[in-house]
Structure 1
């Protein structure tokens, strides 16, 4: 029990928020960075501050610029304009091998003819570190990634998860200030990937390093990162904690990109203290949303609601229920811990997604295909976004 309590990350992660301190000096700073490849703008005027010991995620679809941004920090690409600093030092003109940064690639790039220990030691030998120090660091890295018994094996004798750990150990052996992770878990199966995400978090805290991860996996970013930068078409769309990104997206793109969500196009019909009245021609319904009482009637908006915040029943909802829709169950996905139901709203082509936690082993009359149902949600369940 004492060991588990010692490694608990909750108290650390709850209190860690240097980006909220105006006096905090960031470790890494991207200032108005632009990167062009010919006429194509891969990174478009991006500014980000990343703090020491932060686990920072760059998240977005393929081609959004996240890997290019990381490669510029590593020194494999140079900005077309703008500035990148690390610990206050401008990195312009500094070659990759002179930067206190190491990068772990998605392919792992292990040397097949070398043992695990030799792979980990390779970069240290390149830096002309003494033999005794190399042996000490290799042992330390093997212990850190729980591969003490595998030092003499070759990469082909390891599982995918073990090869991933060797690549991680090799990246950490040089003790960089910043570790860059480019889709590091993409080659692992789902269960191993989920386990490794928590191991990465433990490792980052134990070493006290700054990690930057590039991923297109929203769930992975939500699990490991202190903050997430969502990118699209080379631009920075939102930088916030996982909870803020999920619950308070700043635009329709982020709301739609992160997790599952229902979005209703609507028009403001009136506002009052504590709420905004809306009409959605899309589903032929009136809604009430908690929000800014200063909303102007006639304004086009989007009302976004997460599936788990919606209620569903074959029986009419309570008399005081708001935002009620009628529909028919179109499809069902049983996921074990959750069941997701797709409901076609009556009188429209709109399909809404409703998620229910499976709290009991069974229910007397589960909702089934083609059932007529009521779907509703509270005014504070959704968020108003610009159309």
Structure 2
């Protein structure tokens, strides 16, 4: 598959929207208990062939347990795990068509790169000539041909990560499981490797399932994300849907930065929801998200990059949702600046500005009086 085809394929790839599509992986009513502790509770999930799927959540939310049940290291207390149309509950790990890449990489220190990659193939009894061919393919795939004879301690962190990836792929599993695969890499290398993983997954046409607590990593690599909390899946959607249309306060606050306001709805019309926020002394108008009945408690969430920051009060057309405040903190990050603005009620609101010009005529500084405003379609209404 050519790399030129990767973009169009990813844009049109959405088997979860096809009622006739059969999932490759399915969790059916799965519960996993460790004594009195419920790690996963009555969970249903479908993952499709060639999907890059991410399980995202904080430590202890159940995401790793979910992966381990697919790998065969744990069995569900209740429910079933289906892989390619067959239950794998009770099937030992070595008999499952999956392979797992661990966060620690777990490379053999006394073996060189090609020996590490070929270890699983040797254990399976593959002929030496075939092992040599497969290992050569893997070395080329992960761009480590010049390092074939080196030991793990002679490699950088990124190179060791590639060896572990090549070893996991050498047996050509139907599903590759990645447990916090980039956690040991520095930020720049982690970002580079994320795109390499995406390209590699598309080139191989395989199904990848990644466990991570890094929201940026999940948003970058995944076709879909399952956001988890306390053993349950809160929302499953594409990265853009998770970010722009969160289904709860938990998802909105877990993914990215967000400003939230609590209030009660008042009668609406023309698809516009109005939330009376007593603390702000104003009503917020919104066109997106949940449509609560009048008088119902609700929350409004708006991302910092959707908020305009101006020295002067916005014009009437721009000032439907506008509130005054005072600049409390500023963080300059090079490509953008983050402003924390303290409102009259003491609440702090965040706005970001892209630094598109090197010269600013009237820069906004600490203690300046400013206005924050946003469009009706900039945020979403969430249930209280």
TM bucket, shorter chain: over 0.9
Q: Any idea what the Cα deviations from partners look like across 1:244-272, whole Å, max 9, x if unmatched?
A: 10011011100110000001001112211
- Aligned residue for 1:120, secondary structure, equals helix
- Aligned residue for 1:9, secondary structure, equals helix
Q: Following the alignment from structure 1 to structure 2, what is the Cα–Cα distance between the partners of residues 209 and 182? A: 16
In the alignment, does 2:238 pair up with 1:241? Answer: yes
In the alignment, does 2:103 pair up with 1:106? Answer: yes
- Preserved contact between residue 310 and residue 377 of structure 1 (Cα < 8 Å): yes
Change in Cα spacing, 1:134 to 1:227, as seen in structure 2 (3 Å) is: same
Q: Following the alignment from structure 1 to structure 2, what is the Cα–Cα distance between the partners of residues 110 and 139? A: 18
- Preserved contact between residue 273 and residue 293 of structure 1 (Cα < 8 Å): no
- Aligned residue for 2:129, secondary structure, equals helix
Deviation at 1:296, TM superposition (A): 2.3
Deviation at 1:295, TM superposition (A): 3.6
Q: Following the alignment from structure 2 to structure 1, what is the Cα–Cα distance between the partners of residues 35 and 299? A: 37
Q: Any idea what the Cα deviations from partners look like across 1:227-247, whole Å, max 9, x if unmatched?
A: 000000000100000011001
- Preserved contact between residue 245 and residue 289 of structure 2 (Cα < 8 Å): no
Correspondence for 1:26 = 23
Q: Following the alignment from structure 1 to structure 2, what is the Cα–Cα distance between the partners of residues 65 and 295? A: 31
1:11 aligned to which of 5, 8, 11:
8
In the alignment, does 2:344 pair up with 1:336? Answer: no
Moved over 6 A (4+): none
Alignment of 1:133-148 (within 5 A): 133-148=130-145
Structure 1, unmatched stretches of 5+, are none
Change in Cα spacing, 1:334 to 1:69, as seen in structure 2 (3 Å) is: same
Q: Following the alignment from structure 1 to structure 2, what is the Cα–Cα distance between the partners of residues 206 and 248? A: 30
Q: Following the alignment from structure 1 to structure 2, what is the Cα–Cα distance between the partners of residues 356 and 208? A: 39
Alignment of 1:353-372 (within 5 A): 353-372=350-369
Deviation at 1:101, TM superposition (A): 0.2
Q: Any idea what the Cα deviations from partners look like across 1:285-317, whole Å, max 9, x if unmatched?
A: 221111589642211100000111010111121
Correspondence for 2:127 = 130
- State the TM-score, normalized to the length of structure 1: 0.97
Deviation at 1:336, TM superposition (A): 1.3
- Aligned residue for 1:107, secondary structure, equals coil
- Preserved contact between residue 290 and residue 380 of structure 2 (Cα < 8 Å): no
In the alignment, does 2:304 pair up with 1:279? Answer: no
Alignment of 1:115-126 (within 5 A): 115-126=112-123
Correspondence for 1:193 = 190
Structure 2, unmatched stretches of 5+, are none
Q: Following the alignment from structure 2 to structure 1, what is the Cα–Cα distance between the partners of residues 100 and 143? A: 21
Change in Cα spacing, 1:242 to 1:313, as seen in structure 2 (3 Å) is: same
In the alignment, does 2:161 pair up with 1:164? Answer: yes
Q: How many residues align?
A: 383
CA-atom RMSD in angstroms: 1.3
In the alignment, does 2:178 pair up with 1:184? Answer: no
In the alignment, does 2:151 pair up with 1:150? Answer: no
Q: Following the alignment from structure 2 to structure 1, what is the Cα–Cα distance between the partners of residues 229 and 362? A: 44
Deviation at 1:33, TM superposition (A): 0.4
- Preserved contact between residue 262 and residue 300 of structure 2 (Cα < 8 Å): yes
